[in-house]
Amino acid sequence: DTGVSQDPRHKITKRGQNVTFRCDPISEHNRLYWYRQTLGQGPEFLTYFQNEAQLEKSRLLSDRFSAERPKGSFSTLEIQRTEQGDSAMYLCASSSGQGTGELFFGEGSRLTVL
């Protein structure tokens, strides 16, 4: 399968712990996006990369959130000192950055903070 893959699919953690999610995009895609989605809401933009460069980060994103894409391939999203409000589905998407701008989404990583 050459789609976008995310790991882990589910994560349950206690408040105050750090968590890290990994995203492997479609191999030929140079753009990678992170979104957060809660029940009944649309995906909320967090950040995106073109190759290894982080081009934009949402102003709503707390300093507890950090994302990397060190070699322009896979990406990690780390949340430090998790809070209950961080509970959500974290979606990764990739695109070729050409033409249509279609984003291909992974299945998401669901975070539950107790």
Partner 1 sequence: QKEVEQNSGPLSVPEGAIASLNCTYSDRGSQSFFWYRQYSGKSPELIMSIYSNGDKEDGRFTAQLNKASQYVSLLIRDSQPSDSATYLCAVTGSQGNLIFGKGTKLSVKP
* Least spacing, CB of residue 66 vs partner 1, in Å: 17
Position 21 contacts partner 1 (CB under 8 A): no
What is the DSSP pairing of strand 88-95 with strand 31-37?
antiparallel
Residue carrying the six token digits 């992974």:
106
Say how far apart CA 79 and CA 67 lie, in whole Å: 9
For residue 82, how many C-alpha atoms fall within 13 Å in the half-sphere facing its CB? 20
> Which is closer to partner 1, CB of 50 or CB of 76?
50
Residue type, 96: S
Q: Contacting partner 1 (CB under 8 A), which of 51, 55, 85, 98? A: 55
CB of 34 to partner 1, least distance (A): 10
* Contact residues for partner 1, defined by CB under 8 A: 31, 33, 35, 40-45, 48, 50, 55-56, 91, 97, 100-103, 105-108
